Amino acid sequence: MICRLLMAVAALAILAACSKEDARVVPAAHTLTADATGHYCGMLLSEHAGPKGQILLEDQDTPVWFSSVRDTLTFLNLPEEAKNIAAVYVSDMAKAPSWEQPGADNWVLAGNAFFVIGSDRQGGMGGEEAVPFSTEGAARAFIKQYHGRIVRLDEATKSAAGSSEG
């Protein structure tokens, strides 16, 4: 009887924790501005082609900007970087005007994106890139032209850890 009661209490605690997590409001992405500077390279994002990233931290009003999605994913991997992350956004290349102009307001939550890795396209700073799309169909169309394979955020992050230059 006590065992059943403890299991019921544990289940209620888990449900309560889940409902608090579900109730958390994800902050909206910021518009990419002309003065946005890459966290690692210290250069203007506009100086680099390809998709970009932004990480919103719980205690900051301004995003941490990245000149490539690869750098965004690297941030997530590094133990010395902030872990109070409120949201991670990447350029939705399905809605980008072009590779050279990935857009200022076409962001997708990284957890919802379909990433193409191993393609023929290079991102900011000329490195391998995880190219994000809001739809699997757009990712498949990209693969037909530029090759690669589709992964979700977890695998894209692991891939960035293996190919990152820091």
What is the pLDDT confidence band of residue 160, given thresholds at 50, 70 and 90? Answer: confident
The answer to whether residue 14 sits within a structural domain is no
The answer to whether residue 54 sits within a structural domain is yes
For residue range 64-107, what is the model confidence (pLDDT) as tens digits? Answer: 999 999 999 999 999 999 999 999 999 999 999 999 999 999 99
pTM, two decimal places: 0.83
Q: Are 93 and 114 in contact (CB under 8 A)?
A: no
For 132, the domain range is 28-163
HSE-up of residue 47 (Cα within 13 Å, Cβ side):
10
The answer to whether residue 145 sits within a structural domain is yes
The answer to whether residue 8 sits within a structural domain is no
Assigned token pair, 161: 């850890």
Assigned token pair, 147: 């090759």
The answer to whether residue 20 sits within a structural domain is no
The answer to whether residue 128 sits within a structural domain is yes
Residues belonging to the chain? 166
Say what percent of the chain tops pLDDT 90.
76
What is the domain count for the chain?
1
Report the helix count and the strand count for the chain, using DSSP H and E: 4, 7
The answer to whether residue 1 sits within a structural domain is no
How confident is the model at residue 43, as a pLDDT? 93
Give the CATH number, domain containing residue 85.
3.30.70.2060
